[in-house]
Amino acid sequence: MIAFVFPGQGSQRAGMGKALAAEYPVCREAFEQADDVLGEPLGRLCFEGPAERLALTENTQPAVLAMSIAVHRVLAARGHAPALVAGHSLGEYSAHVAAGTLGYADALRTVRRRGVYMQEAVPVGQGAMAAVLELETDRVRQACADAAGGDVVSVANVNAPGQVVIAGTREAVARAGERARELGARRVLPLDVSAPFHCALMKPAEERLARDLRALVVADPDVPVVANVDAEPKRGAAEAVDALIRQVSAPVQWEAVVRRMAEDGVTTFIEVGPGKVLSRLVRQTLPAARVAQVNDVRSLEAAGALLAGP
């Protein structure tokens, strides 16, 4: 059984999609449609950068979505279809476009606003995120509780065994990182992010985004979408939208998402969009899984061979 997984913010890079758009009309059309919807040359930003502008949250989110859907359209044109889909944070929007829950144009406009709302929820410099390596998730939660001191700090992503991300105010994240080291973490790595995603500080963004999402015309997914918030497959439009709203301030349960898909019979995971982050996380969680990513012409051919195999 095949699952498509869609990356989130942080997987972007200048140059993404350029070769695919030159080779495949369906890919090029996805970028052209994004340009029309947003009224600006998003495709050129993806193809040429500059990287600093691409890294701005309000640009990153629609850019990663556009790249992911461009790749998905190439795979669909070749007859490759998943039994389940999921996406990491922002990638859950790409998953819902691929599944038919959200229209592509609506998703582009929504994630552009999502990026703005998330950035405006916490002034730049006041929040932080850090990756805690080789420490059990319960111990990371304990580190956050011990270090909070009345500030916000909590688990934001459970990505794979031994890889947990925390988020909150800058000072509280620093204290929690130190406490995590005391509890046995091998390393604590500050992340270069513009806001503390997936924690209680994002509640204002969640409330603003909820109004936008509930105003959209949505459909029941064509294939189940395993949600970040609870690792449960969403089969109806209303529960899909509710999960997208809740994930703004709730932790991304990516390890649980991957395990749930495996429990449901998935043996092959294809990362659809820029980067290789999710491929690595799937391998960390399920060493026996068949994993590939599609982000350029060469990887498309390699994934096609994997999908055609036994």
State the virtual CA torsion across 268, 270, 275, 277 in degrees, nearest 10: -40
80 is catalytic: no
Q: Is 89 a catalytic residue?
A: yes
- To the nearest 10 degrees (0 to 180), the angle between helices 25-38 and 57-77 is 150
Q: Which of 89, 94, 194, 279 is catalytic?
A: 89
Question: From CA 305, how far away is CA 292, in angstroms rounded?
Answer: 10
Q: For residue 119, what are its two tokens? A: 């950035």
Q: Which of 80, 198, 249, 279 is catalytic?
A: 198
Supply the residues annotated as catalytic.
89, 198
